[in-house]
Chain A
Amino acid sequence: MTQPVSKLKVAILGSGNIGTDLLLKTLRSAYLDCTLFIGRNFNSPGIAKASGMGIRISDRSIDAIINDPSGCDLVFDCTSAADAKRHWPILQQLGKIVVDLTPAKIGKMCIPAVNLHDCLGSQNLNMITCGGQASIPLTHQIGIIHPNAQYMEIVSSIASRSAGPATRLNIDEYVETTEGAIQSFSGCRKAKAILILNPATPCIDMQTTIFAKIDNPDMEKLTVAVNDAVAKVQKYVPGYHLILPPTREGGRVVIMVKVQGRGDYLPAFAGNLDIINCAAIAAAEAFAQSPRKMKQHR
């Protein structure tokens, strides 16, 4: 006799663009059930949309979870770094798993294509940045094949329209967080992240270029490893494409990837928001399918 598959109950904290896009992705997921969509302001378009779809909504922010602790098992925090820091001790106490899409940098850094399994032991996952999600699956491989790589650099171009006021105010944070994560996942001690906003219309999809300074790069090995990594990412980010395979160019290795969003909530060009959301969903789905997680919440 088989039990019906019960989906993991997830709450989305933060009703902005990211939260709303996540909501639409959870609705497509076989493993996740969004039981609560939470913001601070009933006027937000996200809340209006969620409400229109019959999803339970709240404007009480973290209090919505405090007042109904059994309402969810996992929380996506898409508020802000400052708020996420406030939320964490409360959610930790309540035994919730937190997938953190803010730059709060509290939990274990998670790149699903690289370390999803290891992350299941952690109660708070830090989804780093969009540039990190796009590049680290590849820089990680470079670090494995060439542990002596001297330097890695990633340059992300995103459409101006996909960068709202919060992104623009926090570019420094984006850069520093991404650099730290690249170093951590590749073992390479010198890393640089650059972010460029491109105002061209029609809007460009997110594009990330990875440069690496390597003595005698093994191009064949790199190509195979990169193709593998790309395939892994594509499993949870269907719009992730390799547009320039590892190429030796003027003393450096160059790789380029492009991310086209699914267009769930924001237009498809906002691949930068899509990739971090897809990664967050992948992380949550892994918890949903993990027996260890089920045990934790029995």
Chain B
Amino acid sequence: MKKILISDPTLRDGNHAVKQQLTLEQVAAYAASANAAGVPIVEVGHGNGLGASSLQVGMSLLEDGAMLKAARENLTTSKLGIFLIPGFATINKDLRPALDLGVDVVRVASHCTEADTTQRHIGFARECGKEVYGVLMMSHMAQADILLQECRKMESYGAEGVILMDSAGASLPFEVSEKVKSLVDHLNIAVGYHAHNNLGLAVANSIAAAQAGAVILDGTACGFGAGAGNTPLEILVAVLAKYGYNTGIDLYKMLDAADVARAKLVERTPVISSASLVSGLAGVFSAFSTPVERVAREYNVDPRDILFELGRRKAVAGQEDKIVEIADELARKKSRGTPE
């Protein structure tokens, strides 16, 4: 039976859905239930990873260290994972202290064309003996051959796998297959896929990735995550089983973990709002939806217009400041009465 390694960023990507306000109790509760379900890797942190608590992408309620400690205490068989983006997190301030707290798995991410920013961080985590993966964000924005080059960079830095992240939920199954297959054919390391649900295709894209040779898949409980949400993990686990893949996760206990998430974490199960759908179509980072809606209200402009404009400008994760700039421009156009 083919094996799939599941990595669960409910307590990381999911943090976006509560504007980085996950509490110690929530972290502890979910970590314990994921551990009980046999989820191999539980990823914890601010939505944008280690060291990302900021005015740019949201101040988190908890400090990185506190979240990691709360999770660590509740993970016995599951591994504790972190995610970080160089440019937000540094080795000295963020990564080293996190590793000292007993993190097992490190994912170092960059925009899909900027893998060489991850060299030092991947190297450091590897030298500390940790399981290290590279992540390419907004992977819909690059062709297969570019993705391959960037993955090879991460491979040379010591990553033992690379995960394509569909941050905008913009991909279609055939695109996923093509890209994953190209990587699987040419890399010596594992390939993974992290889908988002803006076009309602997260599970389908994940299955397409698995069938193209990906061996790592991400999913969150109830799809808990920014905007339209992530691949719902309980659904993914069940569907993978139907396709004949072995995740090592107990289905009933995973459903229980989803219940815990529903009760304690999720204010509402992710819904594909029109803003989320539009951001998927525009190819814009999912987590933009929340600040876009807020700024749109403040400036009295249509959030969908902001999103399409962000997509047109190819805004990447971390550039939330552009939202204000665009809203400002749209508001001025509106007040000038130009129907554009």
Task: State yes or no: do A and B touch (Cβ within 8 Å).
Answer: yes
Residues on A lying within 8 angstroms of B by beta carbon are 151, 153, 155, 157, 160, 165, 168-169, 171-172, 175-176, 192, 194-200, 207, 209, 211, 213, 243-244, 247, 249-250, 252, 254, 256
**Are A172 and B86 in contact, with the CB atoms below 8 A?**
yes
With A171-B86, A192-B54 in contact, is A254–B316 under 8 Å at CB?
Answer: no
**Are A249 and B91 in contact, with the CB atoms below 8 A?**
no
Residues in chain B near residue A151, CB distance under 8 A: 55
Residues in chain A near residue B90, CB distance under 8 A: 171-172, 175-176
**A90 smallest CB distance to B (angstroms):** 29
Interfacial residues of chain B within 41-88, with CB under 8 A of chain A in the complex: 54-56, 86-88
**Are B116 and A196 in contact, with the CB atoms below 8 A?**
no
Residues in chain B near residue A200, CB distance under 8 A: 313-316
**B269 interfacial contact with A, CB 8 Å:** no
With A244-B325, A249-B324 in contact, is A195–B87 under 8 Å at CB?
Answer: yes
**B311 smallest CB distance to A (angstroms):** 11
**Are A194 and B87 in contact, with the CB atoms below 8 A?**
yes
Other contacts beyond A196-B316, A200-B313, A211-B55: 15, CB < 8 A = A157-B318, A157-B321, A168-B114, A168-B116, A169-B119, A171-B87, A171-B90, A176-B93, A194-B87, A196-B87, A196-B319, A197-B114, A249-B295, A249-B298, A254-B321
Residues on B lying within 8 angstroms of A by beta carbon are 54-56, 86-88, 90-93, 111, 113-114, 116-117, 119-120, 141, 294-295, 298, 313-316, 318-319, 321, 324-325, 328
The contact of B87 among A165, A197, A209, A213, by CB within 8 Å, is A197
**Are B56 and A160 in contact, with the CB atoms below 8 A?**
no
With A176-B93, A196-B316, A197-B111 in contact, is A250–B294 under 8 Å at CB?
Answer: yes
Residues in chain B near residue A176, CB distance under 8 A: 90, 92-93
**Are B298 and A194 in contact, with the CB atoms below 8 A?**
no
**Are B56 and A155 in contact, with the CB atoms below 8 A?**
yes
Residues in chain B near residue A252, CB distance under 8 A: 55
**Are B328 and A172 in contact, with the CB atoms below 8 A?**
no
**A121 smallest CB distance to B (angstroms):** 32
Q: Nearest residue in B to A198 (C-beta to C-beta)?
A: B316
Residues in chain B near residue A244, CB distance under 8 A: 324-325, 328
Residues in chain B near residue A254, CB distance under 8 A: 321, 324
Q: Nearest residue in B to A164 (C-beta to C-beta)?
A: B116
Residues in chain A near residue B88, CB distance under 8 A: 194
With A194-B88, A196-B316 in contact, is A155–B114 under 8 Å at CB?
Answer: no
**Are A172 and B114 in contact, with the CB atoms below 8 A?**
no
